Amino acid sequence: MRYFIELSYRGTAYHGWQTQANGISVQQTLEAALTQRLGKPIYVVGSGRTDAGVHAEQQFAHFDVDEPLMLSDQLLYSLNCMLPEDIAIQTFFPVRPTDHARFSAVSRYYQYHITRQKNAFLNGMTYHFRPQLNEARMNEACQLLLQHRDFQSFSKARANVTNFLCRLEFAYWQRTVDDRLTFHIKANRFLWGMVRTIVGTMVEVGQHRMSLGQFEQIILAKDRTIAGRAAPPNGLYLVEVGYPAEVLAQRASALTHG
């Protein structure tokens, strides 16, 4: 039996999603709680690997067990009690054996938050960046971004991928009433470090340190060394992971009865 977990987490205290030797990860923490609660070794596969310090408002993972689980509100509650306060499971539900948290996903939606004013309650949750940014110019850069599909210039150099093609659905900047500047971007896939590098490069555009022509030349060059510095991880959020309706067929029922 295969189950999907829907969860959220504040990434500040973790060395990213993926289990690793040099620090505590979200995956490792989740697996430990599931293993303890279910009484057998549990290994989870996430929809994607968020970097150290990156947050997720919605993340999905799957795991396999030999026997069906007795899904109940008590099981969900007990698991959340075992997890740290910065990781929360919203629900879990059965899926088909062929459904995969990573490979069945059809889209990912990220947001990046920038605040000009220091806020004691948002420490580690946004990028505190004091210089004024021209979001109109940054939105013009977004329009250029949407005209392309190869984003090698915004990928970490040692990314282990066969191609750098991504199909963007939207990309835009929006200023909120509390003067927070938020970057919205959705695509079928993202490269390692892609969103943070796009943000870091667009910040140069927003400060009038880079022309729109130079921004497009960076895209066309397919060369990471000429793009801007990656923005810090603390402003980045994985907001939504999209799946075909048949993958999420049991989710509505689980949310209703969870």
Among residues 249, 253, 118, 111, which one has the least CA distance to residue 179?
Answer: 118
pLDDT at 95 over 60: yes
Report the C-alpha gap between 47 and 19 in whole angstroms: 14
Pairing relationship of beta strands 2-9 and 127-128 according to DSSP bridges: unpaired
Topology of the domain covering 2-104+244-257: Alpha-Beta Plaits (3.30.70)
Name the pLDDT band for 255 (thresholds 50, 70, 90). low
* Predicted local distance difference test score (pLDDT) of residue 199: 97
Sequence ranges of the chain with CATH classification 3.30.70.580 = 2-104+244-257
Q: What is the pTM of this model?
A: 0.94
Name the pLDDT band for 159 (thresholds 50, 70, 90). low
* Predicted local distance difference test score (pLDDT) of residue 60: 97
Report the C-alpha gap between 243 and 240 in whole angstroms: 10
**Is residue 51 flagged as an active site residue?**
yes
* Predicted local distance difference test score (pLDDT) of residue 258: 47
B/e letters for 47-69, b = 16+ CB within 10 Å, e = fewer, are bbebbbbbbbebbbbbbeeeeee
Residue type for 40, please?
A: K
110 is annotated as contributing to ligand binding: yes
Sequence ranges of the chain with CATH classification 3.30.70.660 = 107-238
Average pLDDT of the chain to the nearest whole number: 93
Choose, from 51, 66, 73, 179, the residue flagged as catalytic.
Answer: 51
Q: Does domain 107-238 have CATH number 2.60.40.10?
A: no
